[in-house]
Structure 1
Amino acid sequence: MVLLESFIHYSLIAGLVLAVPIILALGFQVITLGTLSHQKQCRARVEEATSPDTSSHAPYYAGFFHPYPNAGGGGERVLWTMIKAIQDKYPFIVCVIYSGDSVTRETLVRNVQRKFGIQIRTESIYVVELSWRWWVDYKFPRFTLLMQSLGSAILVCQAFHRFSPDLFIDTVGFAFTYPTVALLSSKVPIVSYTHYPTISSDMQTMVSLRESGVNNDLTIARSGALTNLKSLYYSIFAKMYGFSGSFASTIMTNSSWTHAHIVDLFGKPRMTKVVYPPCDTNVLAKFPLSGRRPIIMSLAQFRPEKNHRLQVTAFAKFLNDHPEHVAPAGEKSLLTAELIKSLNFQQSEDDSVQLPNYPLLVILGGARNIEDEARAELLRQEAKTLGIDRQVHVIVNAPWSQVLDWLRLSKIGIHTMRDEHFGINIVEMMAAGQLTIAHDSAGPKLDIITPAVRCNSEGRPDMPDVKRSQAFLKAVDVTAKDTFTEVPEFPVGMLASDASEFAQMISAALNAEAPVEQAIRKAARHAATTRFSEAAFCTAFYKKFSPVVRWLDIQRLDDE
């Protein structure tokens, strides 16, 4: 009898212990999702506003968590190419976009066409506006990574309150949303596409070595005690990030560098695959390889990690080392508004249009907010301070049609971000036929610019010689024009690490002999069009996404 009483006693205690988290989870679901009637109303609004093709399959509703769908960066190209791929193969899926941008569906789709040239059908698109995006926008003065990550979990609660989808797709990398989604609905599979890990071993190493940079300010780098505290904070945060990521049903990364970090953090190597981002290489590959102007073009959002300032510094060093390329003191800026609008740098019959005959640095990028606009203006001021503002031009939020013109006309492409996770803009430059210079790290180093020209022990670019270049071009000509497959390995671009090396690479690119220049251009275009095309992205994406759709079908049959 005593034994039975003890068993009942301990069973009641165990039941209470288990009941508390269950009650809390159920309460969290009710508070977040609202009533069943509320969710039915949300679903009814989406159904009324959309008309997917359900002739052969009942509809599914995919929730895309991307608070910045109207931005013009590489992440947004991935988002919209993914949506286009779903529309093409799975017309019964409605793509519900959780957006922090206050724009209508029609405006959003129109901007996608203008910025990326991607045609999206509006009948299977629905936009859920999120008013709490400030949780991930706000730059918290302390514990920024942790606070923004927790903020993303709060933001996804608002997303699910306004619409609970059949599957959840995160295309930003907010892993802290995954356990929240799992808690809200265990039946919703989580698809993750990570461009850049929120925390990485590289960031932890930078802190432990007391290096200052984007992820480690100078005050902490100078203090041993603060360095130890931040190292501990990063270690704890990495564990939390990895735990959150483990809730993903299927995981895609955009590069080998990101893949290695995500496998280490999430601990799911078999479920994690590299899916290279898509590039519009079909259009870019049609640009002529000759007739380029001496323009060094940059294409990246005006975010601090893109390190545009290094471009200005490197260009200033190049001009200082090569004064023959400095514009005459009495000559005014060439890139007038009219010339930018026309972008016709071919020989003009109009003598009033002056063509640039000296190098220009043209920095194009998207600005998400007033802070990005301010960064663009600081670049203009930096160029003025260095006395090179007549040869440096910063263009904000240029339409895609104008970006294409710059890609067609510029001789050199430049990208200076350290540890760039991938770099769609780098691939675009290569496909367009530019001599591309990028930072010798992460995605460009491991995936894109391979093999590459680097500076030798004397600090000079180790450019291929004319004989080797001619042999490469001859091998290419033997095969089918630009669709060659069996040719000698040849550099597809250049890699640099600091202002001095970037300046050296600019000089080497501008002064490359014709066969060398032509060979690098052809090798780069071939690499870009075969490895990083939209078709290659869609093929890899379908391999990861199709099992998720099959799982939903099985789950639906079980429910019936």
Structure 2
Amino acid sequence: MSVSFLLLSVLVSIIVSCIFLPKILSSLGESIGYYLRRTSRTRRELLLARVASEQRSYSSENIETRSAEDDDWEEIEGYAAGTAANGGKADQDWKGIVGFFHPFCNAGGGGERVLWAAIRATQKRWPDAVCVVYTGDHDVDKAAILKRVKDRFNIQLHPPTIHFLYLSTRHYVLSSTWPHFTLLGQSLGSLILAYDAFMLLVPDIFIDTMGYAFALALSHFFFPSVPTGAYVHYPTISTDMLESLSAGGQGVNAGAGEGWKGVVKRQYWHLFAKLYCIVGSTIDVVMTNSSWTQAHIQSLWGPSRKRRTPNADADIDVVFPPVAVEELESAIEISDTSGSRRGPYLLYIAQFRPEKNHQLILEAFADLLASNNGFPSFPNESPKLVLVGSVRDSDDATRVYNLRLLAHELKIKESVEFVCDATWPQVLGWLRRASVGVNGMWNEHFGIGVVEYQAAGLISVVNDSGGPKLDIVVDIDGEPTGFHASTVSEYSKAFAKSLSFSPAETFAIRTRARKSALRFTDRGFAEKWIKHMERLVNLQIEKASET
């Protein structure tokens, strides 16, 4: 057999594979999808029957409350009408099932606030739709989760049309499960977790609100007729992360690209980034939480999405997270006399995770106490650092313990208070009493806590990067609303300056901060969320009519 014939055979094989392999894979995926639909059909019927039963038995004592809430939403509903395909109105009577993929829904952080606000907006616009949350929080039931949503975020959901399906494979997305090749491992783990979710129930619309883009790609592979949506808080990988591998980089992987192991890590990350780009091209609707995230997602997903849909890049829209701005505005007074009710307290609201960099803030606070003898505006009190955050698991609990040890070693133990798993009234109390709001995370994707600081009238000192820098702590009317910092010294000096303003200067900056926060209201989020949900609903209606 001649070499030319062998080469020709190989070439023909490659061409045949390129033509038929995608079709074979597509058929395989849809066959698995058909099996999953059949497997979960009974559970779907039982779920809808349960929803109908709960709707009928829902206590009449809540009718008055719901009517009052409905009045508040008329304006939002009117705004969203007419944004559907062909200028029409999305089907108000749509009764499908929206699946929200959020395995850590009970964590109590800013990402969870987005989830619950999104579900509330969906419930208000499509009251007959069913919202299903896929979660791994086996230790809590529906009543406990909804109670925490009310206590932590002051968000009231309609219980009959929200249900929880419990995943048994959440450990596959934990970083501890993948000590090596963590990014790839967690992404593969999300595929296992998504398959677990589809075994329980196949929704009509599938939305990820945690950053598991691979789960959405799997949904597209199994169920082409199920529209997918992503609310991206933070890209799984970004150009900033790749740059951080170099010496002098920032973040938890700073300098990890040095040496032969670093070279391997760098190549692995570049390959993963290419895979991430392909995955992003399969998603129907993409929302990002900030300008910083949008720029990275457009850079990563934009080229692949354009090859699929010419205008896809323009569809990657910024939907700022919802913040309780209106409530804070009504609950906390800002006046030329209200400052006297505040103390020299520095407040840091953040989950106790490594990237939040509590250590930097503790060190900066220790430097503040060591380099300042007091502040004239607070003659009878010493500065105090208050760390407020949720503790998700044993790793977080260990982290809090280590932070307490660090405070002891820095000799500031008596001036630091830890408030774990705070309720909304507790958070509100500290926002009312504190003077300075702190953010320590490098490249924080957005920073809901920072907006809460501004709405409450605190002077913000945030990391000189990401969303807090680009979107939130910006000049208003040509004047600052807070400070940016990167190092221990810069934070310490910004803390000192924030506590050293005269009453008139403090009142002026607090007023500007609140004006800045008005850009990030619950209503603003709901309007944009409904607009994008309408696209998904109409896609579902169109695809359902084709099958």
Given the two structures, how large is their TM-score scaled by the length of structure 2? 0.83
Task: State the match for 1:303 in structure 2.
Answer: 353
Task: State the match for 2:95 in structure 1.
Answer: 59
Q: Deviations over 1:36-78 (max 9, x none)?
A: 5422212112112213989962511011000011111000000
Task: State the match for 1:537 in structure 2.
Answer: 525
Q: 1:547 & 1:138 partners in 2: Cα distance?
A: 34
Letter in 1 for 2:97: Y
Task: State the match for 2:203 in structure 1.
Answer: 165
Q: Secondary structure at the match of 1:425?
A: helix
Q: Secondary structure at the match of 2:388?
A: strand
**1:222 Cα deviation from its structure 2 partner:** 4.3
Matched ranges for 1:361-376 at <5 A: 361-376=385-400
Q: Deviations over 1:67-92 (max 9, x none)?
A: 01111100000000000000111112
Which one of the candidate residues 101, 111, 118 is aligned to 1:82? 118
Gaps of 5+ in 2: 1-10, 57-90, 303-311
Matched ranges for 1:14-163 at <5 A: 26-27=27-28, 34=35, 37-51=38-52, 57-102=93-138, 103-139=140-176, 140-163=178-201
**1:16 Cα deviation from its structure 2 partner:** 8.3
User: Which structure's CA Rg is the greater one?
Assistant: 1
**1:227 Cα deviation from its structure 2 partner:** 2.3
Task: State the match for 1:269 in structure 2.
Answer: 313
Q: 1:322 & 1:151 partners in 2: Cα distance?
A: 49
8 A Cα contact 1:33 1:160, kept in partner: no
Work out the percentage of aligned pairs sharing the same amino acid.
Answer: 38
8 A Cα contact 1:190 1:250, kept in partner: yes
Which deviates the most, 103-112 or 188-197?
103-112
Task: State the match for 2:468 in structure 1.
Answer: 444
8 A Cα contact 1:211 1:221, kept in partner: no
Q: Secondary structure at the match of 2:152?
A: helix
Letter in 2 for 1:130: L
Matched ranges for 1:325-340 at <5 A: none
**Is 1:428 matched up with 2:473?**
no
**Is 1:405 matched up with 2:429?**
yes
**1:196 Cα deviation from its structure 2 partner:** 0.3
8 A Cα contact 2:225 2:544, kept in partner: no
Letter in 1 for 2:463: H
> What value does the CA root-mean-square deviation take over the aligned residues?
2.5
Q: Deviations over 1:24-47 (max 9, x none)?
A: 555555557646542221211211
8 A Cα contact 2:36 2:198, kept in partner: no
Q: Deviations over 1:236-291 (max 9, x none)?
A: 00000011011110100000000000001111421200000000011111202322
**1:173 Cα deviation from its structure 2 partner:** 1.1
Q: 2:192 & 2:145 partners in 1: Cα distance?
A: 24
Q: Secondary structure at the match of 2:202?
A: coil
**1:151 Cα deviation from its structure 2 partner:** 0.7
Given the two structures, how large is their TM-score scaled by the length of structure 1? 0.82
Q: Secondary structure at the match of 1:233?
A: helix
Q: 1:399 & 1:382 partners in 2: Cα distance?
A: 26
Which deviates the most, 290-299 or 18-27?
18-27
Q: 1:374 & 1:421 partners in 2: Cα distance?
A: 25
Matched ranges for 1:120-269 at <5 A: 120-139=157-176, 140-209=178-247, 211=249, 213-216=251-254, 220-223=256-259, 225-267=260-302, 268-269=312-313
**Is 1:414 matched up with 2:438?**
yes
Task: State the match for 1:555 in structure 2.
Answer: 543
Which one of the candidate residues 377, 393, 401 is aligned to 1:377? 401
Q: Secondary structure at the match of 1:395?
A: strand
**Residues 1:189 and 1:507: Cα distance change in structure 2 (over 3 Å):** same
Which one of the candidate residues 477, 495, 502 is aligned to 2:491? 502
**Residues 1:37 and 1:309: Cα distance change in structure 2 (over 3 Å):** same
Q: 1:174 & 1:369 partners in 2: Cα distance?
A: 20
**1:101 Cα deviation from its structure 2 partner:** 0.6
Which one of the candidate residues 500, 504, 525 is aligned to 1:515? 504
Q: 1:131 & 1:221 partners in 2: Cα distance?
A: 35
Q: Secondary structure at the match of 2:213?
A: coil
**Is 1:387 matched up with 2:411?**
yes
**Residues 1:557 and 1:35: Cα distance change in structure 2 (over 3 Å):** closer
Letter in 1 for 2:295: A
**1:209 Cα deviation from its structure 2 partner:** 4.4
Letter in 2 for 1:198: T
Task: State the match for 1:474 in structure 2.
Answer: none
**1:208 Cα deviation from its structure 2 partner:** 3.9
**1:374 Cα deviation from its structure 2 partner:** 1.1
Q: Deviations over 1:437-461 (max 9, x none)?
A: 110101011100112xxxxxxxxxx
**Residues 1:58 and 1:209: Cα distance change in structure 2 (over 3 Å):** same
